Amino acid sequence: MSKILTRRRVILGAAAGAGIIAYEALPQGAFKYGLIKAADSFTLRAQRLIIGKSLVREFSPADISPQFPTNGVNMPEGETYQQLLASNFGDWALKIDGKVRTPVSASLAELRSMPSRTQITMHTCDEGWNAIGQWKGVPVAHLLNMAGLAPDARYVVFHCLDKQGDGVMYYESLDLFDAFHPQTILAYEMNGEPLPVGHGAPLRLRIELQIGYKNAKYIDRIEVVDSLANIGKGRGGWWEDSGDAVWYAGQ
């Protein structure tokens, strides 16, 4: 083996040291679209080159926080949500559409019968608190593979059932790299119980690679798009549109 360490080898070495795992479900082209084209900052590129594919830390049941605050909306306004709640979400279905081969509609019972992942992780809100919780849900990768991505799919938008103070519905988005990460799940259970209303029932995103506001609650629809320009004000999320929140909030 050559003694000359190329830059590439140094990076790969560091990556191996950081415990890189393979994304089993990552489709062809995801790296091209998700990693290179969507990379909009040095931090994003550097982080992904070095630790991008590793898992975030998971904790043990003893570490679960006795109190996990709710933040932002903790009871969506309006009759639509009240009706869903009254039927215990029996009438609700997650929709997946946009740049997919086959649009999907899945009830809560159907989501519960799909492959699941359970993880105990730390949630960090940029308003200055964190808490450890256990989440069980369907990997977003599984759902995207069910629908099948169109060749021009680049971002995954999560549309929510709650209005914010400005009357705009909450939404968030991820690129394919983060959407296909094994710890990116749509959770229907928290700490072994059905997901409480305050924490986003019936379904909420856990994107463990990123901080609080990316973890959208009250998800109703997943829209796969080729560009975020025409969603909301075009910055990829309600917080991003409303203030100075960054789209890539990796931690």
The residues binding ligand MTE (CB under 6 A) are: 69-73, 125, 160, 162, 170, 198-200, 212-213, 215-218
Least distance in angstroms from the C-beta of 127 to ligand MTE = 7
Give 108 or 245: the residue with its C-beta nearer to ligand MTE: 245
Least distance in angstroms from the C-beta of 241 to ligand MTE = 13
CA-CA distances (angstroms) from residue 14 to 11, 32, 56?
Answer: 5, 21, 16
Which H or E run includes 24? none
Residue 213 interacts with Mo ion (CB under 5 A)? Answer: yes
Give 137 or 212: the residue with its C-beta nearer to Mo ion: 212
Give 213 or 247: the residue with its C-beta nearer to Mo ion: 213
Q: Which does 218 bind (CB under 5 to 8 A by kind): Mo ion, ligand MTE, none?
A: ligand MTE
Q: Looking at 87-95, 192-200, 206-214, 241-249, which segment touches Mo ion (CB under 5 A)?
A: 206-214
Give 171 or 213: the residue with its C-beta nearer to Mo ion: 213
Least distance in angstroms from the C-beta of 223 to Mo ion = 23
The SS3 of residue 236 is: coil
Q: Looking at 108-116, 117-125, 218-226, 237-245, which segment touches Mo ion (CB under 5 A)?
A: 117-125
d(CA 98, CA 28): 19
Q: Which does 194 bind (CB under 5 to 8 A by kind): Mo ion, ligand MTE, none?
A: none
DSSP state of 161: E
Residue 212 interacts with Mo ion (CB under 5 A)? Answer: yes
State the number of CA atoms in the 13 A half-sphere of 155 facing the CB: 23
Give 91 or 129: the residue with its C-beta nearer to Mo ion: 129
Q: Is the dihedral of CA 58, 63, 64, 67 positive or negative?
A: negative
* Nearest alpha carbon to residue 209 among 238, 174, 240: 174
Opening angle at CA 99, ends 249 and 140, nearest 5: 50
Q: Which does 73 bind (CB under 5 to 8 A by kind): Mo ion, ligand MTE, none?
A: ligand MTE
Least distance in angstroms from the C-beta of 214 to Mo ion = 9
Give 43 or 70: the residue with its C-beta nearer to ligand MTE: 70
189 C-beta neighbours (distance < 10 Å), count: 16
d(CA 76, CA 70): 13
Q: Which of 15, 25, 93, 125 binds Mo ion (CB under 5 A)?
A: 125
Q: Which does 182 bind (CB under 5 to 8 A by kind): ligand MTE, Mo ion, none?
A: none
DSSP state of 18: T
Burial 212-241 (b: 16+ CB within 10 A, else e): bbbbbbbbbbbbbbeebeebbeebbbbbbb
Residues near Mo ion (CB under 5 A): 125, 212-213
